[in-house]
Structure 1
Amino acid sequence: MTSKIIGVGNYIPSETITNLFFDKHIFFNELGITLKEDNALITSKLKKITGIEERRYASSDQTTSDLGVIAAQKAIENSGIDPETLDYIIFAHNFGDVAHNSVQSDAVPSLASRVKHALQIKNNFCVAYDLLFGCPGWIEGVIQANAFIKSGIAKRCLVIGAETLSRVVDIHDRDSMIYADGAGAVVLEANENDCSGIKSHLSASFTLNEKDFLYFGKSYNNEGCKGIKYIKMDGRKIYEFALLNVPVAMKKCLDESGYTINQLNKIIIHQANEKMDEAIVNRFYELYDTPTPPDIMPMVISKLGNSSVATIPTLLTMILNDELESHKIEKGDVVLFASVGAGMNINAIVYKF
């Protein structure tokens, strides 16, 4: 038995934020000293390093769970199932519902419960819960759903990844330009009829020395925003950690699947940083002493930014809906999913369509 994706959906917010949006921002460094570079140069460097030109923000009347509901509705519609037949709703996020112009995180009741309520599911034995696992949260949700299905506990699961990172950024930190909002979802079902589905998976948490590479910290503006904490990161350490550990994890996952490197058709990786993702994939292929194929790794970070748990299901939906001209997934294709993020956590899945 395998777990098969039978429906996909995403929600890409309509508010486009270009790099010009940050032209009037006042940026400080970690010591609270104003950056001497003008903002045009700062955003130019951002684009060169991360590839980000635009990102999407949720509208002022939307929260993370609202985005998740829309993505879930689309995934259910795409699957053609009755939502009453769902056994689990797993909602991956990191900061709960944060209202516009607020810093208060609201995670009670769970965001999964809010989605179940919005979908008007009456089945009390459809279990709804949230998952906090950093940016790899959606993949981890899929891995958990797969465990429920393979054990016979569940037959159908809805896994959602949604986040509104624009609500938890320090506007005085240039790293705030990386983050974005969005949502993606899939419906997984027990599959005994063909050879498609999840073939292998891997998860790891590095916490001994890496726990605080991503953290919640005070604003870089020492004169304002006192008492409020925002998402912070040590970008250099994360980059080095990812290049050292993610390719090895990807290789271990692929090797355990039984497929060879030459049978791999696509790599769908968390859209964190274009240069970092390219370096990870190149190092992955170096482990097999094989050149990286062209068009193996679709990227949409240039237009959508980093929406954390939402990046992979959003991108997967776009590909399966034929919204990316240069990337297709055909029946029989083998796809490797991989992510890295706060924790520090890493995970990967090999999936055959």
Structure 2
Amino acid sequence: MIRSVIRGSGSALPRTAVSNAELAERVDTSDEWIVERTGIRQRYIAEDDETTSSLAVEASRKALEAAGLEAKDIDLIVLATATPDQTFPATATLVQHALGCNGGIAFDVGAVCSGFLYAMASADSMLRTGMAKRALVIGSETFSRILDWEDRTTCVLFGDGAGALVLEAQDVAEGGPGVLASKLHADGAHNELLYVDGGPSTTQTVGKLRMKGREVFRHAVVNLAAVLEETLAEVGLGPDDIDWVVPHQANARILDATARKLGLPVEKVIVTVDRHANTSAASVPLAFDAGVRDGRIKPGDLVMFEAMGGGFTWGASLVRL
């Protein structure tokens, strides 16, 4: 059967790391307040010369190197972001040109923190149907550009970064590697709980992020546990079969609560929120790359990706390495 197999991963972070103590010098907050509520200890903030596309290009080059491939081998780029370089064209096309693989398919996906799951499912579908052979699936964000730095309930939560995977269509045997199942959902009824208060068609401005954290937390735990169970049921597996969960890094308490709801040991959950904060669409591939490069995630492992974000959108993808 044809499956989309992960060949390599890469990530990129801005040059500047900002600790909670440094943030407290400009915002009415403290290290203790942030750590207790979120588990975040630092985040990376992009400088003026660092953009969503430049971070995406760096992560993509590292993923290609890990895969042993060159840019010319890529014929599909799907980039998930809520902070594109421009309203149009798609940031994916800027990445494509910078890498030097012009002529293939390149487009952006907008599903905020779930964007990488949407991007990976889109690329998987196109690879399995023969529209492309090898894909770069990227999550890249400069969320610091849309934060209200006067709102301590939101600005302390987010950071910038990028992560990328190389997917390749391969004919594999039953039980072999590749994307086994993906489930995606959305519910536009909850727009007011997590959104940006601007846009070209409404205010003609970029806008700032707004969030009602308590309500988002409640929906996240329920929705994430449900979609993980749904994805496992698709292939007749259970939580005990999972080697690693690579979740969206929104909040340490959400990660813990979701693991408990599924009966998963926290030792199976890749956590980077303490170092990266919430990097929206970049957080899942950033966390995956961290787990691969430190040796925890290995070939043959069964890995569950999951995320929920504004929209609401949420989803999960089960992958055998």
TM-score, with length taken from structure 1: 0.84
1:48 paired residue number: 36
Match of 1:203 among 184, 198, 204: 184
Give the conservation status (yes or no) of the 8 Å contact 1:257–1:350: no
1:179 paired residue number: 158
SS in 1 for 2:155: helix
1:103 paired residue number: none
CA distance in 2, matches of 1:181, 1:334: 28
Give the conservation status (yes or no) of the 8 Å contact 1:205–1:345: yes
2:187 counterpart letter in structure 1: F
1:88 paired residue number: 76
- Superimposed CA distance per residue, residues 242-277 of structure 1 (whole angstroms, 9 cap, x where no aligned partner): 122210111010111222322111111000000111
1:30 paired residue number: none
Could you say which structure has the larger radius of gyration?
1
CA distance in 1, matches of 2:266, 2:42: 24
- Superimposed CA distance per residue, residues 281-304 of structure 1 (whole angstroms, 9 cap, x where no aligned partner): 21122xxxxxx3241102111111
Output aligned runs, 1:106-117, within 5 Å: 106-117=86-97
Give the conservation status (yes or no) of the 8 Å contact 1:13–1:59: yes
The question of 1:118 aligning with 2:98 is answered yes
1:176 counterpart letter in structure 2: C
The question of 1:212 aligning with 2:184 is answered no
2:170 counterpart letter in structure 1: N
CA distance in 1, matches of 2:255, 2:266: 14
Consecutive unaligned residues of structure 1, counting only runs of 5 or more, are: 28-38, 98-105, 219-226, 286-291
1:64 paired residue number: 52
CA distance change for structure 1 residues 48 and 120 in 2, over 3 Å: closer, same or farther?
Answer: same
Count of paired positions: 311
CA distance in 1, matches of 2:101, 2:243: 37
CA distance in 1, matches of 2:27, 2:82: 27
The question of 1:317 aligning with 2:289 is answered yes
1:235 CA drift (Å): 0.5
CA distance in 2, matches of 1:269, 1:263: 17
CA distance change for structure 1 residues 276 and 156 in 2, over 3 Å: closer, same or farther?
Answer: same
Give the conservation status (yes or no) of the 8 Å contact 1:94–1:163: yes
CA distance in 1, matches of 2:54, 2:299: 32
1:288 paired residue number: none
1:129 counterpart letter in structure 2: F
1:2 paired residue number: 3
Match of 1:305 among 255, 269, 277: 277
CA distance in 2, matches of 1:176, 1:235: 12
CA distance in 1, matches of 2:22, 2:136: 35
1:137 counterpart letter in structure 2: G
2:316 paired residue number: 348
- Superimposed CA distance per residue, residues 65-97 of structure 1 (whole angstroms, 9 cap, x where no aligned partner): 110010111111211223223221111100212
SS in 1 for 2:92: helix
1:221 paired residue number: none
Give the conservation status (yes or no) of the 8 Å contact 1:46–1:52: yes
CA distance in 2, matches of 1:26, 1:203: 36
- Superimposed CA distance per residue, residues 144-180 of structure 1 (whole angstroms, 9 cap, x where no aligned partner): 0100011121111111100011111001101101110
Q: CA RMSD in A?
A: 1.6
SS in 1 for 2:192: coil
2:80 counterpart letter in structure 1: A
TM-score, with length taken from structure 2: 0.93
CA distance in 2, matches of 1:228, 1:24: 26
1:13 CA drift (Å): 1.8
2:172 counterpart letter in structure 1: N
Where in structure 1 do 4 or more consecutive aligned residues deviate above 3 Å?
24-27
Give the conservation status (yes or no) of the 8 Å contact 2:259–2:265: no
Give the conservation status (yes or no) of the 8 Å contact 2:259–2:266: no
138-147 or 72-81, which moves further after superposition?
Answer: 72-81
Q: From the two aligned structures, give the one with the greater helix fraction.
A: 2
- Superimposed CA distance per residue, residues 211-246 of structure 1 (whole angstroms, 9 cap, x where no aligned partner): 22111238xxxxxxxx87311111011011112221
SS in 2 for 1:212: helix
2:301 paired residue number: 333
1:135 paired residue number: 113
